Amino acid sequence: MLGAMKPPYDPASHIRTIYLDEECQDSALAQAICARANVPVKILPAGARPQRGASPSPHGLSKGKHNLVLCTNRGSFFKPCPATKEYRCCDYQVLNIGMGCPMDCVYCILQAYLNNDWMSFFVNTDDLLQELDLAFLRTNQFWRIGTGEFTDSLAIDNLTGLSPILVNYMRDKSHGILELKTKSANIQNLLDLDHNGKTMVSWSLNATTIMAKEEIRTASLSQRLSAAKICTGKGYKLGFHFDPIIYHKGWKEGYKETIKTLFTTVPAEKISWISLGALRFLPALKPFALTRFPSSTFFHEEFIIGLDNKYRYFRSLRVEMYSYILGLLRQHAAEHTCLYFCMESDEIWQECGFAPGESSKLPDNLDLAFQRTPN
């Protein structure tokens, strides 16, 4: 029962040390984060980062889950999703708020990118908002903006307090929406905000076996969906992402149970979109992940190298999994909810029952789905 579940794990409690770039010592946001965290704070010389271990290794990633660096982002905050030309993209826009996450998913692609002994959060939010201002002035394009590309959107939001800054900024934007994507149940900062229907909250979902074994320090299915239900009561629209879909023993029963629980907990009419994406990963990820998580077995399945140079399941298996899960979703989803694939070919779309050309309409269909979802 949802009402009898234990409180969700607070991912921010995994942080043991904060490293503060000396450039940011006068930042009110940095000072507030340090006060809320109530852990030791160490000052770093400007631009410096914590000393690595004797040699970079996968185990440094585990150590890094305890260390949070508060610093300035000297580059761009706002960029198009780093998609590949070979597969269909949804024209998502990424807002980079930091790097790394205290939660620890075995399949996380960041393990192949960020071999650091720390996570980072950017405290120069005035620069972030100024960059968004300029972007909105340049075009009337309708943007779907997400913060969950290089970190979880809400995992440490109780420390950073970033979501109120972003939600308040977006509420008067006529041609853009903000999507906060998470595997946590950390929604406290969202509940009393006047979001004006311009922010949606999304959760990554999986079969419960995968969530329990491969998504470490994340909220359970019941905890995620309970948080989603609370958000609908505050007028937020919802998104869900079955990504990565992982082949495992009992996968059909696992995904069927998750989908059943989803639609018996959350009002279907509040869901704007649901994405599906099968497991895919850079070749460099496998040795990192297996060193850190030697008991995981899903990396030992058969894979091929896709057009984007990532390992993927054979096409026939992807089509089988997609078709099965889509069939379940279509039994329950509201008419306006957009069901779509993340980073798949047009041919896969058609093999799974979408009309020819439907994949090319994805950006417009997502915008329309959001507009049709009631607050």
| Structure-model confidence comparison of residues 289 and 3, the more confident one | 289
> Quick check: is 364 in a domain?
yes
Taking only the tens place, the pLDDT of each residue in 219-256 is: 999 999 999 999 999 999 999 999 999 999 999 999 99
Structure tokens at 181: 């994507």
User: For a pLDDT cut of 70, what percent of the chain falls above it?
Assistant: 95
User: Residue 1 — very low, low, confident or very high, per pLDDT cuts 50/70/90?
Assistant: very low
196: β partners: none
Q: What is the pTM of this model?
A: 0.95
CATH number, domain of 350, equals 3.80.30.30
Mean pLDDT of the 309-313 span: 95
Residue numbers of the domain that contains 246: 75-115+124-372
Q: What is the pLDDT of residue 34?
A: 98
On the question of pLDDT at 17 being above 80, the answer is: yes
**Domain annotation covers residue 223:** yes
Within-domain flag for 351:
yes
Classify strands 93-95 and 78-80 as parallel, antiparallel or unpaired. Answer: antiparallel
| 315 inside domain | yes
Domain-located, residue 35: no
**The Cα angle at residue 97 between residues 95 and 98, in degrees rounded to 5:** 130
Dihedral of the alpha carbons of 240, 244, 249, 255, in degrees to the nearest 10: 10
Rounded Cα distance, 47 and 74, in Å? 10
47 located within any domain = no
How many structural domains does the chain have? 1
Arithmetic mean of pLDDT over the chain: 93
HSE of 8, CA atoms in CB hemisphere, 13 A: 24
On the question of a cis peptide bond just before residue 244, with omega within 30 degrees of 0, the verdict is yes
Asked whether residue 149 is domain-assigned, the answer is yes
Question: What are the beta bridge partners of residue 69?
Answer: 19, 120
Specify the residue for token string 């029963």: 253
The mean pLDDT value for 292-315 works out to 94
174-228 pLDDT per residue, tens: 999 999 999 999 999 999 999 999 999 999 999 999 999 999 999 999 999 999 9
Q: Between vectors from CA 318 to CA 313 and to CA 322, what angle results, nearest 5°?
A: 150
Residue 136 lies in a domain: yes
Q: How many residues does the chain have?
A: 375
Q: Give the strand pairing for 104-105 and 215-216.
A: antiparallel
Q: How far is CA 148 from CA 2, 157, 298, in A?
A: 26, 12, 24
Residue-wise pLDDT for 25-72, tens only, equals 999 999 999 999 999 999 999 989 887 765 556 767 888 899 999 999
The mean per-residue pLDDT over the stretch 299-312 comes to 94
Could you tell me the two tokens for 162? 């970033």
Taking only the tens place, the pLDDT of each residue in 96-116 is 999 999 999 999 988 887 778
